[in-house]
Amino acid sequence: MTLKNSSRLVVFLFLVTGLACNNSNDSSINKNVSLSSAQDSISFALGYQNGDFLAREGATEFSYDAYIAGFINGIEQNDKLDPATRTSLINDFRIQLTSLAKEKNRAESEAFLAENKTKEGVFETESGLQYKVIEEGTGASPTAESTVEVHYEGTLIDGTKFDSSYDRGQTIEFPLNGVIRGWTEGLQLMKEGGTYMFYIPSDLAYGENPRPGGPIKPNNALIFKVELVSVK
């Protein structure tokens, strides 16, 4: 097997999987193949990459036989579906995959917050915002119309860091009414010099519409460590 364009093959493997959606797994498939050659290893790696991605998105019900048949027929350029039907199936699957990912993210976020609010020192406001005082400040508290200067670090609930002013070595200033609702509410609980942890439900963060292609996905709850340096 010669892979002239592995990136196109990865895309093909992902797309053809959609044709098998909603069928059951075939337990007769041998999952313990011997990776005795470079061809075996790259073939397995490509298959694993796509299976792992789909599982993480919440899509696990496929017909393995149909997947393999689609792959082989794609290699041999023997399409059993007319292009319009194939395109329609793939587009429908993409929509379904997006919906599954949103539902999975929401469920995981809600489960995390439900457990987190039972931990010592964590408080929850009426909106669902959770916070923990790391260090109480002694200065002024901002209003929603204030401009604030902060240091912060943002992570996903699995600990993945997606942003940090500490890493950049520079604080940031912004009007408090121009950021996500969780920040607008949360920072008004603080005083200058204080440091809080905020655990923000998705509907107080970016909801179903985070920046496309970024690390924050639809319905992700977010965690922020925030140090309120000053209120302007």
Give start and end residues of each alpha helix (H) in 159-206: 165-168, 181-187
Please write the tens of the pLDDT for every residue from 124-176.
Answer: 999 999 999 999 999 999 999 999 999 999 999 999 999 999 999 999 999 99
Q: Is 217 helix (H, G, I), strand (E, B) or coil?
A: coil
Domains and CATH numbers, the chain: 6-27+34-80 (no CATH), 107-231 (3.10.50.40)
Choice among 59-63, 210-214, 224-228 with the minimum mean pLDDT:
59-63
Which two structure tokens, joined as six digits, stand for 120? 């010592």
Nearest to 133 by CA among 54, 88, 75, 199: 199
Q: To the nearest whole number, what is the mean pLDDT of the chain?
A: 87
Terminal Cα distance for the chain, rounded: 64
Q: Which of 62, 71, 152, 198 is catalytic?
A: 152
Sign of the four-CA dihedral 169, 173, 176, 181: negative
Choice among 53, 162, 166, 203 that is catalytic: 162
- Annotated active-site residue 162? The verdict is yes
- Res 20: pLDDT: 39
Reduced to 3 states (helix: H, G, I; strand: E, B; else coil), residue 228 is strand
Query: What is the tens place of the pLDDT at every residue in 68-127?
Result: 888 888 888 988 888 899 899 889 988 888 898 899 999 999 999 999 999 999 999 999
Check residue 3 and give its pLDDT.
42
Name the catalytic one among 12, 42, 65, 163. 163
**180 tagged catalytic:** yes
Nearest C-alpha neighbor of 217 from the set 168, 158, 176: 158
Which DSSP category does 21 fall into?
B
Does 79 participate in catalysis according to the annotation? Answer: no
Identify the residue with better confidence: 151 or 24: 151
Which of 180, 196, 203, 216 is catalytic? The answer is: 180
Tokens linked to 34: 């011997």
Q: Note if 224 is an active site residue.
A: yes
Distance (Å, whole) CA 219 – CA 217:
6
DSSP summary character for residue 110: H
- 48-60 average pLDDT score: 82
Q: State yes or no: is 163 an active-site residue.
A: yes
CB crowding 87-103: b at 16 or more within 10 Å, else e: eebbeebeebbeeebbe
Please say if 64 is a catalytic residue: no
Tally of CB atoms within 10 A around 130: 24
Residue 147 phi/psi, 5° resolution?
-100, 135
Active-site position among 71, 198, 199, 224: 224
Distance CA(69)–CA(88), nearest Å, equals 19
| Residue 113: count of CB within 10 angstroms of its CB | 20
